[in-house]
């Protein structure tokens, strides 16, 4: 019987250098898209996929992230006294049951594979999801839910994949793969940041994974033998590639939805525009403003 995926790991122990100086004092995951932090989008996606245990891999300077999930009784009382029920309801949606969230520390940023490995005792011998909060995905059915559906039908390791134009493919991990059915591709190999002419496909890996416990054993072996990958880090991609070599199934899942790279400044700005325009309470005013900006730009050129 297929083991259910009920745990998700959120590696949030990176340094966030692309958002300095902001990330000097606030974690990148607390940066706000419209009115909610990146981490809220990730948690909502995980909850919608049936995840019940949320494991954060954190590091120094991330206490704002841990505090975010605490109840705020003074705030609640003050909003209640002022009859601000709409905001109260919004706040309540962010409440997490006691014990559902666990934190584990990564002492040094030794890579994404290492961060996931830090959660190994909490993961145990079960399949688990990994969500990179930088990748925010707008979709009718949340991306992880789409992936878990595919996993339940056909178990194995899954990486989320999206089509990327040739001009941009060299910024991504790229799948060497063949289509199995619909959105699912069997992965034969992965190439990290290939030159466009050497890319084996136009399908790039982005930050959603469903992984089997064997991946943890592969990372463990790399750490024990101090075998690092690109950038001198313990890479998750290397551990997944080893599983392909061992003959275990790894699938690329081409999800339906639009992904925004909120780990980059341009991606974050694009997401802000897209999510702002998607909001009923903001879209008219915001669209008008954007229209004015474009008109002024055109006139200035």
What track of x and - describes contact with ligand UTP for positions 253 through 282 (by CB under 6 A)?
----------x-------------------
**In this chain, which stretch among 63-71, 132-140, 166-174, 270-278 interacts with ligand UTP, using CB under 6 A?**
132-140
Instruction: Provide the minimum distance between the beta carbon of 106 and ligand UTP in the complex, in angstroms, as a whole number.
Output: 5
Q: Are 27 and 64 in contact, with CB atoms under 8 Å apart?
A: yes
Contact residue for ligand UTP among 45, 134, 238, 261 (CB under 6 A)? 134
* Pairing relationship of beta strands 184-192 and 53-58 according to DSSP bridges: unpaired
Sole window of 5-13, 140-148, 175-183, 218-226 interacting with ligand UTP (rule: CB under 6 A): 5-13
When asked if residue 27 is in the footprint of ligand UTP (CB under 6 A), the reply is no
- Closer to ligand UTP by CB, 15 or 75: give it: 15
Beta-bridge partner residues of 258: 138
Q: How far apart are the first and last CA of the chain?
A: 63
Task: For residue 258, give the 3-state DSSP assignment.
Answer: strand
Q: Residue 188 has which token pair?
A: 């034969």
Cβ of residue 9: shortest distance to ligand UTP, in angstroms? 9
Instruction: Count the neighbouring beta carbons within 10 Å of the beta carbon of residue 97.
Output: 7
Q: Does 18 bind ligand UTP (CB under 6 A)?
A: yes
* DSSP E strand stretches across 152-295: 157-163, 173-181, 184-192, 203-211, 250-254, 258-261
* Residue from 94, 99, 137, 109 nearest 11 by CA: 109
User: Residue from 8, 11, 47, 218 that binds ligand UTP (CB under 6 A)?
Assistant: 11
Residues near ligand UTP (CB under 6 A) = 11-18, 28, 57, 106, 109-112, 114-115, 132-134, 263
């Amino acid at each position: 019987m297929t083991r259910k995926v009920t745990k998700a790991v959120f590696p949030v122990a990176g340094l966030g250098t692309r958002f300095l100086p902001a990330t000097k004092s606030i974690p990148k995951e607390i940066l706000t898209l419209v009115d909610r932090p990146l981490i809220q989008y990730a948690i909502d996606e995980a909850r919608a996929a049936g995840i019940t245990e949320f494991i954060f891999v954190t590091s120094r300077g991330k206490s704002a992230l841990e505090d975010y999930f605490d109840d705020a009784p003074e705030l609640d009382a003050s909003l209640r006294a002022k009859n601000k029920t709409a905001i109260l309801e919004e706040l309540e949606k962010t409440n997490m049951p006691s014990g559902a969230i666990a934190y584990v520390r990564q002492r040094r940023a030794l890579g994404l594979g290492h961060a996931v490995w830090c959660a190994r005792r909490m993961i145990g011998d079960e399949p688990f999801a990994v969500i990179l909060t930088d990748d925010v995905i707008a979709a009718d059915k949340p991306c992880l839910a789409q992936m878990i559906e595919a996993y339940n039908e056909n178990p194995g390791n899954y990486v989320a994949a999206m089509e990327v134009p040739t001009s941009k493919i060299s910024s991504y991990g790229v799948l060497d793969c063949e289509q199995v059915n619909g959105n699912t591709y069997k992965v034969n190999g992965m190439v990290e940041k290939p030159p466009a002419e050497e890319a084996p496909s136009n399908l790039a890996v982005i930050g959603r994974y469903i992984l089997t416990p064997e991946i943890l054993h592969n990372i463990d072996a790399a750490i024990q033998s101090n075998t690092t990958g690109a950038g001198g880090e313990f890479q998750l991609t290397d551990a997944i590639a080893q599983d392909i070599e061992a003959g275990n199934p790894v699938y690329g899942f081409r999800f339906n939805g639009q992904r925004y790279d909120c780990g980059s400044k341009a991606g974050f700005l694009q997401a802000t525009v897209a999510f702002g325009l998607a909001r009923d309470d903001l879209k008219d005013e915001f669209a008008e403003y954007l229209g004015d900006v474009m008109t002024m730009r055109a006139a200035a050129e």
